[in-house]
């Protein structure tokens, strides 16, 4: 029977798609130490993106720009803002994955954080004006939800790649629903927010599993962008759900 130390050494040398002596499967394309470094870098960049987003929002509101930006954006269809929120996330994720150089990856991440900070302004402005306290509550629920889903992925070590198809289909269906609501004039109710929160949770599980197992080690900036996009999506709809109750 192999000791845990010898198993660790064998796992360090495993290639993608091989099976360990204990029967577990590894999809990790490099050794454990490199994967640990990759994961650390990914979450450090995610934390940096969240801090950057928060700093931008504080600047918008403290400088008085938030009101001007919110009034301008609220003058258009709110559903168009919802659509833009999702399209920007999709485009940024694609850009981060296709960018091969670090400067391009950082440009995609930085551009995405700035774009999201602008799109969030009207929602945060309305929440701050008419539902005080909901921003903090939604932020804590999002943080706890993200931490819980991340813990599930890391503790179970299961492959959640099957969720990729569900998330992709769900995003396309959501965009179709938004477009239909604009054209036909109906509103997207509370159920839509609940479904989108579930979709964001599924995306976090899939992306975390991908980061643990197969994500290219030189794409930690892109990995952090994908996670940030899912966290932002969850926060957006958790906040909307809180506001709908007030």
Non-local (6+) Cβ contacts of 24 within 8 A are: 157
What are the b/e assignments for 100-119, b being 16+ CB within 10 Å? eeeeebeebbebbbebbbbb
Domain boundaries, the chain: 31-244
CA distances from 174 to 75, 81, 84, 141, 200 (A): 23, 13, 12, 22, 12
Please state, in angstroms and rounded to a whole number, the distance separating the CA atoms of residues 35 and 120: 33
Name the token pair of 196.
């989108």
CA 191 distance to own-chain centroid: 20
Per DSSP, helices labelled H in 187-219 are 190-213
Can you give the pLDDT of all 246 residues of the chain as single tens digits?
Answer: 434 444 344 434 444 443 333 333 344 445 677 888 899 999 999 999 999 999 999 999 999 999 998 888 877 666 666 667 667 766 766 766 676 678 888 888 898 899 889 889 989 999 998 888 899 999 999 999 999 999 999 998 888 888 888 888 888 887 788 777 767 766 777 888 889 899 999 999 999 998 888 888 888 888 899 899 899 999 999 998 898 765
CA distance 178 to 184: 10
Confidence (pTM): 0.79
CB atoms within 10 A of CB 33: 9
β strands within the chain, DSSP E: 18-19, 25-26
């Amino acid at each position: 029977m192999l000791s845990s130390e010898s198993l660790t050494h064998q796992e360090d040398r495993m290639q993608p798609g091989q099976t360990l002596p204990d029967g577990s499967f590894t999809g990790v394309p490099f050794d454990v130490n490199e994967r640990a470094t990759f994961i650390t870098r990914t979450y450090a960049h995610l934390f940096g993106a969240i801090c950057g987003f928060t700093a931008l929002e504080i600047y918008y509101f403290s400088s008085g720009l938030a009101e001007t930006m919110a009034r301008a954006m609220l003058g258009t269809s709110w559903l168009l803002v919802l659509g833009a929120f999702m399209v920007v996330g999709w485009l940024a994720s694609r850009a981060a994955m296709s960018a091969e150089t670090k400067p391009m990856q950082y440009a995609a991440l930085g551009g995405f954080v700035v774009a999201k900070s602008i799109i969030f302004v009207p929602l945060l402005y309305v929440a701050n004006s008419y539902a005080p306290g909901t921003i903090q509550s939604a932020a804590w629920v999002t943080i706890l939800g993200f931490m819980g889903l991340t813990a599930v992925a890391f503790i179970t070590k299961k492959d959640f790649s099957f969720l990729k198809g569900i998330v992709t289909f769900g995003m396309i269906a959501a965009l179709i629903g938004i477009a239909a609501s604009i054209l036909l004039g109906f509103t997207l109710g509370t159920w839509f927010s609940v479904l989108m929160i579930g979709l964001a949770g599924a995306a976090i599980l899939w992306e975390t599993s991908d980061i643990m197992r197969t994500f290219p080690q030189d794409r930690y900036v892109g990995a952090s962008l994908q996670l940030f996009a899912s966290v932002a999506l969850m926060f957006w709809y958790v906040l909307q759900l809180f506001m709908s109750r007030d």
